[in-house]
Amino acid sequence: MATGTTREARAHARSQEGRRAEAMPVVPATDWPDPPREAGRLVWAETVDGGSYTHQVLARGTELRLTDVGGEACGHLLLYAAGRPWERLNAADTVKVQWNAYLAEGRLLLSDQGRVLASVVADTSGRHDALCGTSTLRRNTERYGDGSPHSATPAGRELLTLAGLKNGLSPRDLPPSVSFFQGARVADDGAVEFTGSAGPGASVTLRAEQDVIVLLANVPHPCDPRPRYTCGPLQVLAWHARPTQQGDVLWDATPEARRAFLNTTAFLAAGGLA
């Protein structure tokens, strides 16, 4: 179709209505063809291609499921308290406070203020990383020849920067991220070992324990030894649910978890947010 005039360009643009690519948001999310059986009303449904990013603001209590469709995804995640982005995911505290370096079901994603931003309520992958962060422009340029955001081999930090800018965040607001579906473990000698994927269809479900800004980049893990830029589609689904309540198993799983939840609910109650 010709686009040489304004009328032709308008006609061409309108002809695209209703067309869908394999990797794109579904709007409204309730049109997603195969929602999880346990899901409430879907509020976010999207497939993020390898080398791409996405972002969203989720209400407290929303559950977010990430699925590694083909076994090659690696979702690098940042979280911020919505409206208070100075409170953000702190990967170091997430590891240190819980006395555990590895993300799994029952772990909490903590802010630097000792509060819970999200909890891991289900996990069928077990291949995650809270130690290495995401890839950088310099690293990807050295490995693949380019790491800029619009190249064929974009770096995770560059994509998270774009996602952050769309939420009023600058590059200086980006802390180290955590990643899902491509694992890394620390060997006895202190070296980081890449453990790769659990395979196609693995998923992890997070529950927002505050209103949060979610930034996601789907790019290869920085320790992935494969010479080619390898990253497959990441499925993102979110639905209305309830935040963790006192008396839930997750709340009382450890003394550290209990304190983090108490810190969170006390803060939200004082501000009329819960």
Q: What is the pLDDT of residues 122-147, one digit of tens each?
A: 999 999 999 999 999 999 999 999 99
Quick: pLDDT tens for 200-253.
999 999 999 999 999 999 999 999 999 999 999 999 999 999 999 999 999 999
What DSSP character marks residue 192? E
- Output the CA angle 201-144-51, nearest 5 degrees: 35
Structure tokens at 57: 């603001």
What phi, psi does 270 have (nearest 5°)?
Answer: -65, -30
Nearest alpha-carbon partner for 174 in 143, 205, 145, 213: 213
With residue 267 as reference, give the H or E element that holds it: helix 255-270
Provide the pLDDT confidence category of residue 4 given band limits of 50, 70 and 90: confident
pLDDT > 70 fraction of the chain, expressed in percent and rounded: 99
**Is the separation of the CB atoms in 145 and 153 below 8 Å?**
yes
Given this model, what pLDDT does residue 179 score? Answer: 98
pTM of the entire predicted model:
0.94
Span 50-94, pLDDT tens digits: 999 999 999 999 999 999 999 999 999 999 999 999 999 999 999
Instruction: Using pLDDT thresholds of 50, 70 and 90, give the confidence band for residue 10.
Output: confident
Comparing CA positions, the residue from 23, 127, 109 lying closest to residue 58 is 109
Q: What pLDDT shows up at residue 265?
A: 96
In the numeric block, which tokens belong to residue 100?
A: 């555990």
The DSSP bridge pattern shows strands 183-186 and 75-81 to be unpaired
Greater confidence (13 vs 57) lies with 57
- Please provide the distance, in angstroms rounded to a whole number, between the alpha carbons at the two ends of the chain: 53
From CA 261, how far away is CA 11, in angstroms rounded? 53
Question: Pseudo-torsion of CA 189, 192, 197, 202, nearest 10°?
Answer: 90
